[in-house]
Amino acid sequence: MSNALPKIAWIGLGIMGSPMSENLIKAGYDVTGFTLEQDKLERLAAAGGTAAGSIAEAVRDADVVITMVPASPQVEAISYGPDGILENARSGALLIDMSSITPQTSVGLAKAAKDKGIRVLDAPVSGGEAGAIEAVLSIMVGGEQADFDQAKPIFEALGKTIVLCGPHGSGQTVKAANQLIVAVNIQACAEAVVFLEKSGVDLQAALDVLNGGLAGSTVLTRKRDNFLNRDFKPGFRIDLHHKDMGIVTDAARNVGAALPVGAVVAQLVASLRAQGDGGLDHSALLRAVERLSGAQV
Ligand code: NAD
């Protein structure tokens, strides 16, 4: 690769992909994108990127292809087949999948890509929409050291904490652990909110002082206003956290790790989704606790 910045193709311009790709444009990268929604393509063009009409068109000239789609089936759909990334990207390109998917899917993708001369990193993120906008994401990476080193400047335009966790799939395993911790943390906060309100304590004051002590967390900082205002606009959709609880439950079973509290929270997430709240932010776990506590919400 020359001294010029690598040419980027970005597939998947959703809640995370749009602001992340815009941060690369701000950092001087040439970004060509493709996604399913026309308005998101227009947003990319307005930010200084190039909207492509297909995956093939987006990836054809790219040095680095970045993907940020919902789950394993979408990663497979955009990667494989005659219209997919592996068939249409040039040999020598680096494919960085930043979606949160199963570790096995990442391992399989790396193997299939190798046959085409394409290198792969799994690089899921944590930090939510706000972290994406502010370019302060935590990025957990699986793959080869040399590929990680090449991708580092790109990651530095997107996040603050950037760690190579091990071979292919390791980034996804760490992300699964992240999602376990976040879900359990939100659930504990939601239970505290209902308990505090029913006890007649000033909720705002309580959350402020709690966040200054050992109970404080990034979850409480980022989701405080969602709890106070019952604002459940996503953010991170319950549907996606349901997917992630499935990933961590399955991965833990495979290695014989027991997740008793995680299993209960996975059920609460599934129940919330079954009740029609799958499109809400994951802070809507509060609604599940409220219902269990007798509220009609
Ligand atoms: P989203 O649903 O907002 O966006 C997904 C995008 O993928 C959409 O724009 C869609 O058009 C695109 N897409 C899907 N299938 C496609 C295809 N076949 N071809 C082209 N584009 C396709 O999702 P999101 O919230 O941005 O999440 C993306 C990933 O990041 C997920 O794996 C999620 O778990 C993870 N994540 C999300 C957050 C968050 O707070 N939203 C935080 C960390 C990680």
Q: Whose CA is nearest to atom 38 of ligand 1?
A: 128
In the chain, where are the structural domains located?
Answer: 8-167, 173-292
Q: Which atom of ligand 1 is nearest to the CA of 240?
A: 34
Distance from the CA of 192 to the center of ligand 1, in angstroms? Answer: 30
Which tokens in the block code for residue 151? 């991708």
d(CA 141, CA 155): 10
Q: Which residues line ligand 1 (CB under 6 A)?
A: 11-17, 34-37, 40, 68-71, 74, 77-78, 99-100, 125-126, 128-129, 235-236, 240
Distance from the CA of 71 to the center of ligand 1, in angstroms? Answer: 8
Fold (CATH) for 8-167: Rossmann fold (3.40.50)
For residue 150, give the nearest of 162, 135, 136, 132 by alpha carbon. Answer: 162
Q: List the catalytic residues.
A: 175
Could you please report the per-residue DSSP string of 104-151? Answer: HHHHHHHHHHHTTT-EEEE--EESHHHHHHTT-EEEEEES-HHHHHHH
Does the domain at 173-292 match CATH 3.20.20.70? Answer given as no
Digits of tens for pLDDT over the chain (297 positions)?
445 999 999 999 999 999 999 999 999 999 999 999 999 999 999 999 999 999 999 999 999 999 999 999 999 999 999 999 999 999 999 999 999 999 999 999 999 999 999 999 999 999 999 999 999 999 999 999 999 999 999 999 999 999 999 999 999 999 999 999 999 999 999 999 999 999 999 999 999 999 999 999 999 999 999 999 999 999 999 999 999 999 999 999 999 999 999 999 999 999 999 999 999 999 999 999 999 999 999
Q: Which atom of ligand 1 is nearest to the CA of 128?
A: 40
> Do the Cβ atoms of 136 and 106 come closer than 8 Å?
no
Q: Whose CA is nearest to atom 1 of ligand 1?
A: 14
> Do the Cβ atoms of 1 and 29 come closer than 8 Å?
no
Cross-strand pairs, 94 = 64, 119
